[in-house]
Amino acid sequence: MIRWLGSASLVLTLAVPASAQSVRISVIDRGQADGIVIRTPYEQWVVIDGGTNAQQAELMERWGITTVALVVGSHRHFDHNGGMDDILERFTIQRFIGNLEDCPGNVQDDKVRGVLAARAIPRETPANQTMTIDGVTFTILPTDPVDDACPSEENDNSVVVRLDFGEFSMLFPGDAETQEMEWLLDHHRELLDVDVLKASHHGADNGVSDSLLAAVTPERVVISAGVNGTFRHPRPEAVAAYIAATGGASRVRCTNRHMTVTVFGSADGRIRVTRQNPIDKSCVFDGTHY
């Protein structure tokens, strides 16, 4: 059943038993990049970001995915957007949400907009949309109305997504930094309180603060970062803050150490986190090695 709720919201509702199954969120090991693939209880698919190349699309094909109900592009930096055109080309995409402004000098963004147009993929700019896909609700958090669509600081133009499935919730803030987070805390604090946080900006210091963690109150944190001596993510202070907020190092997982991290969230609020690499070592880059 499909219901329209105003001009911005589409609700697709299927019969899902109250606590039957779980939503699966795979934070894929993309190196210094972000790529998240979400499977709903009855195998509909949602993608947030596409990494730097075709590897994510190839993995999705191996998983047997043919149709994606929703694709969200958090922002237009290459480590989030570089593989987006491959995803849009290889799968049937039912809906795309992302910043569609034609900003100068962004060749990859031109490719993405070209594929969207060529394949007539339904596309929208972020505007506080809420949609439910197979019992899982995705909320595109409101954006600062004074922000430029072609900002000098693209990270602070990130599309922030909240996922809810029954009593389980997770937040995906892209690379949002202090300015965007402070605006959300001032205007939409109630939307930030979730069970699991995908750390902003690959575990950088400017993606976390005491006030943010006090609002989010995460039980688990997942950091998407690469083994990269240039960026040195995740940063020690950020990892320490996440460990303190969640109550233990075992509740913070990172792709630079644990490879693909998968979160299973049940409708009754239970959380299970698995990791491709079971090693137990610090996520922190200390300047020379992990």
**pLDDT greater than 50 at residue 140:** yes
Give the position of tokens 């209880």. Answer: 41
pLDDT of residue 13: 38
pLDDT digits (tens, 9 = 90+) for 105-134: 888 989 999 999 999 999 999 999 999 999
* Structural fold of domain 2-275: Metallo-beta-lactamase; Chain A (3.60.15)
What is d(CA 101, CA 115) in angstroms, rounded to the nearest whole number? 15
Looking at residues 269-274, what average pLDDT do you find? Answer: 97
pLDDT of residue 237: 92
pLDDT of residue 283: 83
**Domain locations in the chain as residue ranges:** 2-275
Is the CA virtual torsion 129, 132, 133, 138 positive or negative? positive
The pTM score is: 0.89
Lowest mean per-residue pLDDT among 1-5, 248-252, 263-267: 1-5
Helix spans in the chain (H): 55-62, 78-81, 84-90, 107-118, 178-187, 210-216, 236-246, 255-258
Whether the CB-CB separation of 85 and 118 falls below 8 Å is answered with no
Give the CA count within 13 Å in the CB-facing half-sphere of 170.
31
Average pLDDT of the chain to the nearest whole number: 88
pLDDT digits (tens, 9 = 90+) for 51-101: 889 999 999 999 999 999 999 999 989 888 999 999 999 999 999 999 988
